[in-house]
Amino acid sequence: MTDAPLVSVITPCYNASRFLAESIESVLAQTHENLELIVVDDGSTDGSLEIVRGFGERVRSEPLPYNQGVNFARNRGVEVARGDFLQFLDSDDLLEPEKIARSLEVFDADVDVVFTGVEPFGDAGESRDLPAPPRWYGILRSWLGRAHGAEDVGFAPDYPADFFVRQGAQTAQLLHRKANYLRFGGFDRQLFEQDDYEFHFRLALSGSRFRRIADPLVLYRQHEGPDRLRQSPRRAETALRIFQMMVAQARAADALDARLRRALAARMALWSRAMLREDWPEQAGAIYALACELESLPRGSGSVLYDVLARVAGIERAEALYLRLRGV
């Protein structure tokens, strides 16, 4: 691109004083200089807003009167953004200095979204003053770390929905054309979490045109914290709702072919196991039942025997036997 377009970087923030300054500095260090950084403080009580204000005019603060959720904060940032491009960044993650510049280089009239690779970093065990995560958390974290490393799932431009189901993406990986983001409504404010997962899938179904840079230009911090440990039935119910929405969206778009069915079924089966580990069997069973509607044998594990047993005897019995054999 010959001009230097304005890029609006939007950081939702809630009690993020531990890592916020480092995240802001990674934005201010971007080689693309024509940007604005908007930190939407979502009712923090830990001094996060003071950290933002300490950066002076280099950072715009948008304080909210009370905590309304990360999806609301992101959309509020979009409402006040002046740029033609949108870059989201969570308050504990980092951008490599060339992330925005390299993304803009490959934008052209045929591209709506450019997304890069991501590199997990940090130590999820480093915090000593927080409650231990649920048992399934380490399993999902390890799976996400593998999935986010560019080589696990190949990106086929003709099948973006399949990619975003199987691998997913952190919000910071994507640089959006603002007009396209607004066209499809942004993050769903009614979702408790995983709103980015649903929105990226919706973008892919919509016909948005993606281009990928495989290099990891986003650093995704792995750590324990209150925002990472939502142990409640609301979490499980939200997961079920999102999968129901995604299946309905795919059917409405006439996009639920065999490839996408397999991808959705496998992801649901994986989440069913996660819900069981968190002791929410009702939601786990509902998610697995939905997976079985799409695929006769959902592949939620590395073992065909496990998958067959789950299909025949139910996910609860299969998981109980698995844990017994593993001595867990």
DSSP letters spanning 139-174: HHHHHHHHHTSTTSS---TT-HHHHHHHT---GGGE
Instruction: Give the domains, in start order, of the chain with CATH numbers.
Output: 7-228 (3.90.550.10), 233-326 (no CATH)
CB contact set of 151 (below 8 Å; sequence gap of 6+): none
Share of the chain above pLDDT 70, in %: 86
Tokens read off for 211: 């281009």
Q: Indicate whether 134 pLDDT > 70.
A: no
Question: What average pLDDT score do residues 54-70 get?
Answer: 93
Instruction: Evaluate whether 95 touches 26 at the Cβ level (below 8 Å).
Output: yes
pLDDT score, position 9:
98
Instruction: Evaluate whether 183 touches 195 at the Cβ level (below 8 Å).
Output: no
Q: Indicate whether 140 pLDDT > 80.
A: no
Query: pTM for the complete prediction?
Result: 0.84
Residue the block writes with tokens 């693309």: 32
pLDDT digits (tens, 9 = 90+) for 232-274: 677 888 899 999 999 999 999 999 999 999 999 999 999 999 8
Task: Lowest mean pLDDT of 163-167, 207-211, 230-234, name the range.
Answer: 230-234
More confident residue, 156 or 31: 31
Q: Indicate whether 130 pLDDT > 90.
A: no
Instruction: Evaluate whether 159 touches 167 at the Cβ level (below 8 Å).
Output: no
Q: Indicate whether 328 pLDDT > 50.
A: yes
pLDDT score, position 111:
95
Q: Indicate whether 230 pLDDT > 50.
A: no
Model confidence band, residue 222 (pLDDT cutoffs 50, 70, 90): confident
| Alpha carbon distance 87, 214 (integer Å) | 17
Sheet strand arrangement including 7-13 = 59-63, 35-41, 7-13, 85-88, 174-177, 113-121, 210-221, 94-95
Q: Indicate whether 319 pLDDT > 60.
A: yes
